[in-house]
Chain A
Amino acid sequence: MALDGWKEKIYQRYLAWVCRPARIKRHMHAFLPSPKQPAKPEPGHKKNQVRAAALQVELKLLKNPLQFADEMHRRVREAVNEEAELIVFPEYNNLPLFGLLPGFEKMEESYREKAQNAGTGQDHEQEGEIGLADVFRYMSPVVQPLVHTVFSCLSAAYGVHIMAGSYTLAEKGNVINRSFLYGPGGLLIGSQDKVHLLPVEVEWRLKRGGSFSVFDTPLGKMAMPVCMDATYYETFRILEQKGADIVLLPIANLEDYNYWLALRGIWPRVQESCLYGIKGALVGSIAGLAFTGRAGIFAPLEITPKKDGVLAQVEPCSSEAIAVADLDIEVLHGLRRNHPWRDTNPALYRRYLPELYN
């Protein structure tokens, strides 16, 4: 059942009204510092040292969009207090906003039961049941402007770069999973659609992205593929070839925490493609989905103090935390110029890959 009855339409209008940018801005400007003017860099000037923060966000349903603004502000301020100038939020950062839906707790109960029955034959979708994709679609017109307003205000107020996490949004009849990057002036630098979907996202009929983008910023060239994209070396190889120095990865891992399972994403990709990786993680549970993770900041083995590829990583796997580390772009470029083991074999790739990918 799509959420398109007259009651749902009226409620959607109500939500749009309570989430309207003017209201959110008024609320935020009451406590935010005046917008910080970023120092104007000389043309072509790049910062070599970047202090970055990877946030682990604990999922809590929020009843009011102002609470969302407050929560995001609380986490940004925590990172800014650590002098971070680049802040990374997790995947599915829109899930707390499901609390805005009246009766979502009831729906959640049914999703949870369904998850518990998974594989027992009693987990099939009932006719008329509202699927998560329906909820994503319904919430999209509310979520997108709210997220833009909140993160634009935060990045402008603190003069920092914020990767706002990823959000499931409706676009031209499809639902996509999209990450956003905001610059210190509060402007949206760019967005990236998730290119590789989880099996459950295929079930939810999400549409996958078709390309990868790299954004040139005063902190370095950055990209923000989404979660599962880091399971595939191709993502990071393309980003490396397009000049990325820092990959910002929002994740929401749908599995019980296990050190080795969690190691399979960004860590090996950073080693293969010689760049910095920052992972923001969503933890907690909703609608029968349980997320775990350990947010962290990763680098090639050769330039980490313990030669383990980790610059900073949070300890807990199911509660809120923050990891902070300094990235040195010049050190990274120096390693690339003088790398001990990296090589390329274009003749080999040409021989096999085009045909295999086709």
Chain B
Amino acid sequence: MRVSAITMADLRLSSTELYRSDLSALLEKCAAGLAVLPAYSALFLGLATGALEPAPDFAGALRQYYKNHNDWNRQYLELHSSLARDLKIYLVAGTVVESEAGCRYHTAYCFNPGGDTWGSQRQTHLTRAEREIGFSRGEELNMFDLDGLQAGMVVGNDARHPEVGRIFALRGAALLLHCGALEAGYNCWPQVAGMWSQVQQNQFWAVEAQLKGKVGARSFGAPPAVIGPCEITPGQSGYLARGYPHSAVITAELDEEARRQIRQQYPLLELLNPAAYSELERG
């Protein structure tokens, strides 16, 4: 399967039409069957197009978004649903802020090549800042089929919590799609400590999209990546492809047979020792 991770750099964002046109051209050029957009993509586009009220800081921008989230989310998700349908690809549309029963969630959506909602995933672990803003944690990890590969989505800060990757892996996930948004000031180590580490201890693939841009006074920018088990990647680095913070997109081909072989030679999950985990606090 050919996959792409998008940063939203170099896309014209002053109107949804220009955005759609540029993203569509970019995705056609990549010729991938699956593309992943970063976290806070709906907020970023909403502010740039004027659909959402600006605010001096990130928390303020999120509060403004939340006031008007129903209308904007509908437009935003419809736009990406139609893109997925027109291009006949699986498209992870990045994330929206949504609410249910008075709780506020940070949620990723995936559309299938028919434009249907194929999966959604609420962020399950919040940063301190996200807790202060008033987000709630999701309590489920959802999986869906992507042309024969079991997949799940990892939203924002969930990349740093290994329980997420382990739950997906033990349920049979072959591919995780990460919508990320790390603050700019490039230091690769928070990313390595995130999805890269989850991939290495679970031997699945990950497509990591990172937001490039500015929301309020906060700048985002980290390289997008396609990650696999070290043994089956160039230089045993764990990276099938890795961009720069300013890269618009990166693309790679997943070799599922190679992953199957390394899991057979070095069966990490079979060597777990659950009998020793009785002291693991599970609640």
Contact = CB atoms under 8 A, between A and B. Distances in A.
Contacts of A348: 124, 137-141, 163, 167
A336 interface: no
A350 B281 CA distance: 9
A197 B273 CA distance: 9
A347 B139 contact: yes
Given A341-B127, A341-B128, A348-B124, A258 B282 contact: no
Given A343-B127, A348-B137, A348-B140, A309 B193 contact: yes
B125 to A, nearest CB: 4
Contacts of B126: 343
Nearest to A228: B271
A199 interface: yes
Interface stretch (A25-33, A39-47, A129-137, A261-269): A261-269
A180 to B, nearest CB: 19
Interface residues of B, number: 52
A343 B131 contact: yes
B167 A356 contact: yes
Contact of A345 (B139, B160, B275): B139
Interface string B195-238: 01100110000000000000000000000000000110001111
B137 A345 contact: yes
A231 interface: yes
Contacts, number: 149
Nearest to B125: A343
Interface stretch (B10-18, B38-46, B184-192, B244-252): B184-192
Given A232-B272, A341-B128, A353 B201 contact: no
Contact of B201 (A232, A301, A354, A357): A232
B60 interface: no
A208 B273 contact: yes
Nearest to B233: A260
Contacts of B197: 264, 268, 271-272
A212 B276 contact: yes
A341 B126 CA distance: 7
Interface in B150-174: 157, 160-163, 166-167, 170-171
B71 interface: no
A268 B167 contact: no
Interface in A239-264: 241-242, 258, 260-261, 263-264
B268 A238 contact: no
Nearest to B167: A352
B178 to A, nearest CB: 15
B267 interface: yes
B280 A241 contact: yes
Contacts of A272: 160-162, 193, 197
A138 interface: no
Nearest to B229: A264
B230 A210 contact: no
Contacts of B100: none
A271 B281 contact: no
B189 A301 contact: yes
Interface string A187-204: 000000001111100100
Interface of B: 124-129, 131, 137-141, 157, 160-163, 166-167, 170-171, 187, 189-190, 192-193, 196-197, 200-201, 230-231, 235-238, 266-268, 271-283
Given A232-B273, A308-B187, 8 more contacts: A196-B273, A197-B271, A212-B276, A264-B201, A272-B197, A308-B189, A353-B167, A353-B282
The list of the 3 closest CB pairs from A to B, nearest first, reads A346-B283, A268-B197, A233-B162
5 contacts: A199-B271, A210-B276, A340-B127, A348-B139, A356-B166
